[in-house]
Chain A
């Protein structure tokens, strides 16, 4: 099993450009998350999904959109990139259990630079 994979690994954008980050998991997990990690600020939740076709906002959703058309994929879109979106982006997934919380499995990350 590949676990959680992210595409691409690195990307450089110019201000105003758009792009989509792809996250895929092969563990049949219900929940998927997008985080950004900036130096000294830990991980901040951008958007998350508790199932196919559903998405919800996290702590820092502005400037991002997401879609979960298939259970195994979670896409993060930047419509008009800004330098403030320079960061490392991590996708994570976890399985669901009745009323329970479970460990999150993280992908390797995407390092995005916006010039």
Chain B
């Protein structure tokens, strides 16, 4: 079945360093969503990408959707302690509203 994998599983960075997480789907996605979950919290929507090759920015966060619409990335510039949490990508199963979530990347930022 369709799978969505994320790498790395964990990432520890010093505050001020950059961070990137990658999301890879086994099938083409019509769109991809990114969520952030703080420790002990619930997932919170960050962004949705729809177009092939799309790049969107939110302050220090840059999101990309691959040309083949099978992969995506989230890059954080100059991490801050407020960036701590787990970042998930999610894509819909082809032709449905059933979302498959990636395994997530847990980010720790050391002050």
Q: Which partner residue on chain B sits nearest A88 by CB separation?
A: B42
Interface band, chain A? 20 to 34
B6 cross-chain contacts in A, Cβ below 8 A: 42
Partner of B42 from the list A31, A41, A44, A107 (CB cut-off 8 Å) is: A107
Which stretch of A20-28, A62-70, A71-79, A97-105 is in the interface? A97-105
Partner of B97 from the list A40, A41, A50, A105 (CB cut-off 8 Å) is: A50
Q: Which partner residue on chain B sits nearest A91 by CB separation?
A: B42
User: Do B97 and A101 have beta carbons less than 8 Å apart?
Assistant: yes
Taking A59-B100, A101-B48, A103-B48 as contacts, is the C-beta distance between A43 and B43 under 8 angstroms? yes
A48 cross-chain contacts in B, Cβ below 8 A: 97-98
Which A residues have a C-beta under 8 Å from some C-beta of B? 31, 33, 35, 40-45, 48, 50, 56, 58-59, 90, 92, 101-109
